[in-house]
Structure 1
Amino acid sequence: MTGLARVLAVVAGLAVTEPARAADDPSYTVLSFDELKGWEHDDHAAALDVFKETCPDMRDPDWLSLCALATNQKNARTFFELFFRPVLIEDGTPTLFTGYYEPELNGSRERTDKYRYPLYRKPDELNGQLYYTRREIEEDGVLDDKGLEIAWIDDPVDVFFLHIQGSGRVKFEDGSYLRVGYADKNGHDYRSVGQELVRRGIYTRHQVSAQVIRNWVKRNPEAGRKLLWHNPSFVFFREVSQVPPSRGPLGAMNRSITAMRSLAVDPDYVPLGAPVWIEKAGDTPMRRLMIAQDTGSAIKGAQRADIFFGTGDDAGIDAGKTRDPGRMVVLLPIQRAYALAPEGAG
């Protein structure tokens, strides 16, 4: 897996159908920096540091030249205002911001009475075909005694949500960590357990969130296990040893992503590595410069973005509550911006 959000996008969308992708050709409007609400109050230096993480991997000459200039910049705001132009890209669908995070699980290298729920590496015989379902693996034990276990976790619900996020960090009792990333899946389509709770009449559509699902399963352990089996999709993992535990997980550009500064986008509209100004509405408004460093299977459209909230439970709660309107504006090299929207120049 190359991006945290790729397997199933965001936990916040578990019980809600994503909007259909628009068929309209995108429109491009060049804005001024004065039209970006809150631009003058952001920490542009923090955004520049994150931009420099991935800009060397951008292959277009326009971007590479800006990357070279970024190396020795002392005034980050001036750098962005001097060499970029804000471009509003629209495709006919409303803006939607959601959130994702990196789960942190408690685990062990060995199975114990406390740690008994495995994370599996990819079986050798899995080569694109339909494989065993979640229920067959977890209830029937079809992978037992194959030596595929990477680590053992203390909570089956944590394992389930790790499958949704696609990667995470395991904390061992000695204080060490293991980061795992997506390796493959069993080929079965994802089925929303949130929607299943709504179908059963247990919750309404607007009540369901990742935390609500987690709490219900813990209150109803037997029925909860069966609820999780409603989703036949199952993910296999790999150890990600090249990323120090102190840094963020790898995004779609194969570089560490940064909490509250990295964004998952649709690369059909937004170049990976590009700065993106977001104006998120909702209960927790957010106006800041972020960098497009990740992708997601449900992140489709010019005005669709997934905010990386960080690692651990608190980040997961904040990510799970995020489903807000607003506006996102891509910062593009000046010549490219005006080539896309010549009528907007001026």
Structure 2
Amino acid sequence: MRGRAIVCGFTVFLGVLGCVNPGPNVRLDDGKDYYRTLPEGQHALRKITDPRMIPDFSKAFGNVAELRDAVNHSINYMAKPSSKTFFPKSGISHAQVEKSLFAFRDLLDSKKTATQLNEELRKRFDVYTSVGCDDQGTMLFTGYYTPVFDASLTRGGAYQYPIHKLPPNHIKDPITGDTLGRRRADGTIDANYPDRAKLLSSGELKGLELAWLTNPFEAYVAMVQGSAFLRLPDGTQMEVGYAGNNGQDYTSISMELVKSGKMKREQLNLRSMIEYFKKNPQDFEPLAAKNKRYVFFQPSTGGPFGTINEKVLPLRSLATDKSIFPRASLCFFTTNLPDENGKGNAPYEGFALDQDAGGAIRAPGRCDIYIGGGDDAGERAGHIYAEGRLYYLILKDGQSAKVSR
């Protein structure tokens, strides 16, 4: 989704949008560089060798049915031959991830108690921690969601701001989905894709409008998120998903608002930004023009989908930097989360699957949590900004797993 990188969502999440409104119980160290890149040659994961440092998993076995669905989504992905091209990653092989998923699903089906499951995990699985932003495991967690916006399939009235389909001459890598360029009339590929401003001003996207929205910032948010649900005038809902992008770099409009002094960092969340641009529409395009990336859409059903092209589930799907973390893997994370109304901050721990990526998730110290779809999910996602820990569970060598799809 978050662009299949949502590209996932290009997920970018509200974190990407800069929804950085910590609750009163969240303490962040402003001196930490959460976007610190991984030093060359270093793995993003480190095996925990001291059993005392392995978390207690026994409280994380609620809603096993939904967790099993998420595991199955990763198993589906790992069965695709193309998935093998992304391994090994951080020293973890494709076979290790796949066997781990099967073994974990077997445990979920075993009817064991939470205490027994915790014991089995500690006995049969190696636990890896992300090195984090400081080589000590510190992660910054943010949230992302799938927005719902008013839209029309035809232009008219308030519906003046389009999202576009993929140009017919767009060329992307069949395995990674990365943009390669545009095919010329003679069959060669032009790698110099225009940036967002040039695409919109040139008129070459005319006729490729997929839908028209009522607010330019909402159209922009859909692009940042990589997917959206559109509420049409007849009351029906249409799902659109990520189809590709122009290959240009992404720049956060939220950070531009802060740099320009138009909003304070602590004021940033999706709703406040939408309201700001409704009151100050003249400010939108100059700021948006600083972002060179442009995202294309396609009709979609059954989603939203993550970068592994499997459906993402609330609190069960994570977005990480797929250049350093092993995709589709079984994870466990601990952080603080607001309640369903976006209020407060309470400790949270749970299992999830690494199934998405995001434009702002480009470091070992960053992770985005998928929260769901609609306004309520957006409110909650916009208030997630907290430190925590991220773990990967990999079946130990010599341990068996029943392979059945």
TM over 0.5: yes
Which secondary structure state, in structure 2, belongs to the residue aligned with residue 252 of structure 1? coil
Which secondary structure state, in structure 1, belongs to the residue aligned with residue 67 of structure 2? helix
Indicate yes or no: 2:127 matched with 1:111: no
Q: Give the aligned partner of residue 165 of structure 1.
A: 225
TM-score normalised to the size of structure 2?
A: 0.70
Per-residue deviation, residues 96-129 of structure 1 (Å, max 9, x unmatched)? 1111111222212222213221111122344524
Q: Which amino acid aligns with 2:309?
A: N
Q: Which amino acid aligns with 1:157?
A: F
1:268/1:120 CA distance change after superposition, 3 Å: closer
Distance 1:56 1:13 in 2: 28
Distance 1:135 1:273 in 2: 35
1:174/1:193 CA distance change after superposition, 3 Å: same
Q: Give the aligned partner of residue 236 of structure 1.
A: 296
Q: Give the aligned partner of residue 264 of structure 1.
A: 319
1:218/1:65 CA distance change after superposition, 3 Å: same
Q: Give the aligned partner of residue 96 of structure 1.
A: 140
1:273/1:135 CA distance change after superposition, 3 Å: closer
Distance 2:391 2:102 in 1: 23
Q: Give the aligned partner of residue 344 of structure 1.
A: none
1:218/1:38 CA distance change after superposition, 3 Å: farther
TM-score normalised to the size of structure 1?
A: 0.81
Instruction: Give the unaligned 5+ runs of structure 2.
Output: 21-32, 80-93, 172-180, 182-190, 338-344, 400-405
Per-residue deviation, residues 135-183 of structure 1 (Å, max 9, x unmatched)? 4555x47246x32111122222110111111122222233433222222
Q: Give the aligned partner of residue 279 of structure 1.
A: 334
Q: Which amino acid aligns with 2:73?
A: E
Q: Which amino acid aligns with 1:334?
A: K
Report the CA distance between 1:327 and its aligned residue: 0.9
Residue in structure 1 matching 2:13, options 2, 5, 10: 10
Q: Which moved more, 1:192-201 or 1:114-123?
A: 192-201
Indicate yes or no: 2:208 matched with 1:142: no
Q: Which moved more, 1:251-260 or 1:117-126?
A: 117-126
Report the CA distance between 1:309 and its aligned residue: 0.7
Distance 1:57 1:8 in 2: 18
Which secondary structure state, in structure 2, belongs to the residue aligned with residue 162 of structure 1? helix
Which secondary structure state, in structure 2, belongs to the residue aligned with residue 27 of structure 1? strand
The number of aligned residues is 330
Report the CA distance between 1:67 and its aligned residue: 5.2
Report the CA distance between 1:278 and its aligned residue: 0.9
Q: Give the aligned partner of residue 184 of structure 2.
A: none
Which secondary structure state, in structure 2, belongs to the residue aligned with residue 151 of structure 1? strand
Q: Which moved more, 1:195-204 or 1:66-75?
A: 66-75
Indicate yes or no: 2:144 matched with 1:82: no
Kept in 2: contact 1:116–1:153 (CA 8 A): yes
1:265/1:33 CA distance change after superposition, 3 Å: farther
Per-residue deviation, residues 29-72 of structure 1 (Å, max 9, x unmatched)? 05659952563254151322321232243254455556556368
Q: Give the aligned partner of residue 54 of structure 1.
A: 74
Q: Which amino acid aligns with 1:107?
A: A
Q: Give the aligned partner of residue 198 of structure 1.
A: 258
Percent identity (aligned): 26
1:21/1:264 CA distance change after superposition, 3 Å: same
Kept in 2: contact 1:133–1:232 (CA 8 A): yes
What CA RMSD, in Å, does the superposition of the two structures yield over aligned residues?
Answer: 3.2
Q: Which moved more, 1:25-34 or 1:315-324?
A: 25-34
Q: Give the aligned partner of residue 304 of structure 2.
A: 249
